[in-house]
Structure 1
Amino acid sequence: MNAELQYKVEQFLYKKAELCDAQHWDGYLALFSEDSVFHLPQWDSEHVYTTDPKKGMSLIYYPNRGGLEDRVFRIRTGKAASATPMPRTLHQISNVRIFPIEGDNLEVRVNWQTLYYRQATAEHFFGRATYTLRPHGESWLISKKHTVLLNDTINSVLDFYHI
C-alpha cells in the first residue's frame, strides 16, 4: 500500500475522531455521505454478531445519514437525556489497514478505543470498525461504518459518539 495514501487515510480518520471529541457536529456529519450506513450490531453469542440489521438486533443502525442528523438534533436541543450533560470523549485509532475495493472506493479496517467521562463516571469502549470510503474531491466521504463493540458489558447508554 502506498505510504502517501496510508497517511491521508489515517489523517482523515484522526480528523473524524477530533471532530467528534470536540463535539463539532457539523464537521463530523459532513464526513458522511447522504446515503451512508452506520451499523453497530448486537452480539448473538460469544463469537457471533448480527450481520443483517434488517433481520437481527443492532445496538445502533442508521440506514442513511439522517439517523446521525437526528441524534445531533436531539443533542443540540437537549432532547437527548443520555447526553445531558454531554460527556467528554477521547477517541483513539490504531492498526489502520486499507484495501482497495470497487471503483476508487476504499475499505478501511481499524481498531479503536474511546475513553468516556460523564458525571464522575469514566468508562472505556473498544472494538473494531470497517469503513467504506468514497472519493470526494481531495478526500473521502464515509459511505459505510460498521463497528463491532468488544466490551462485554455497557454501563451507560450507548450512542454514536462512543464509537
Structure 2
Amino acid sequence: MERLLLQYEVEQWLYREAEYLDHLDFQSWLALMAQDVVYQMPICMNVADTRSAQDYSRETFIFNDDRNTLQMRVDRLNTDFAWAESPPSRTRRLVTNVRLVEVEPEITVLCNVLIYRSRGADIEADLISGERKDVLRREGDSLKLVRRWFLIDQTTINTRNFAIFV
C-alpha cells in the first residue's frame, strides 16, 4: 500500500510540475527544484542500429543546468530580452507511463513526456517527445527535483529554439 501511495504522490507532483510550466508559472515551478538540482538534456546521436542509453552523449548537451542557471533562465523569461519566447510559446505537456525505479534513499522515476508547442500565429506546431529519468528527494513534507535527464526521441530537433523547459 505504501508503494501505491508513493506512486500517486509522485504522479501528482509530475502533473503539478507540467501544469506550472504550461501556465507559465515559472516561480512555482522553480520552487519544486532542490538547491543542488542537475537538469540535463544530452544530444541524441545516431551511432547504432538500436536505441539505447549509449546513443546519448555524456559530454554534449542541449542544456546542462543547475539551480543558478535555471534561475537565470526564469529571470530572463520575465524581461523584455527573452526574444526567443516573444510571444510566449503555448505548451501542453503530457506525462505518461510513470514508473518508480527506486524509492530509497531518493526516488528514481521514469516517465514518458510529449510536449506540444505552438508559437504566435504559426500554423505548424512542435512535438517533442522523450523519456525522463528524474530523481526526487523528500524535503520536509514535499518532494524536490534533484536530477532530470531528458532523453529526447529526435536526433534532429525540429524546433526553432529550445527556450522551454522539459
- Relative to the length of structure 2, the TM-score reads 0.88
* Structure 2 residue aligned with 1:88: 90
* Structure 2 residue aligned with 1:41: 42
Give the Å deviation of 1:122. 1.1
* Structure 2 residue aligned with 1:145: 148
Q: Which moved more, 1:109-118 or 1:73-82?
A: 73-82
Unaligned residue ranges in structure 2 (runs of 5+): none
Two-structure CA RMSD over aligned residues (Å): 1.5
- Relative to the length of structure 1, the TM-score reads 0.89
Q: How many angstroms apart in 2 are the aligned matches of 1:101 and 1:93? A: 20
1:102-139 CA-partner distances (Å, limit 9, x unpaired): 52x10000000000010224111100000000002222
* Structure 2 residue aligned with 1:9: 10
Question: What letter matches 2:100 in structure 1?
Answer: I
Show the 5 A alignment for 1:28-107.
Answer: 28-46=29-47, 47=51, 48-51=55-58, 56-62=59-65, 64-103=66-105, 105-107=106-108
1:71-93 CA-partner distances (Å, limit 9, x unpaired): 11111012221111111100000
* Structure 2 residue aligned with 1:155: 159
SS for the counterpart of 1:77 is coil
Q: How many angstroms apart in 1 are the aligned matches of 2:9 and 2:75? A: 30
2:34–2:146: 8 Å Cα contact kept in structure 1? yes
Q: Which moved more, 1:150-159 or 1:29-38?
A: 150-159
Runs of 4+ more than 6 Å apart: none
1:51-101 CA-partner distances (Å, limit 9, x unpaired): 2xxxx2110111x21111111111101222111111110000000001225
2:41–2:150: 8 Å Cα contact kept in structure 1? yes
Quote the sequence identity (%).
27
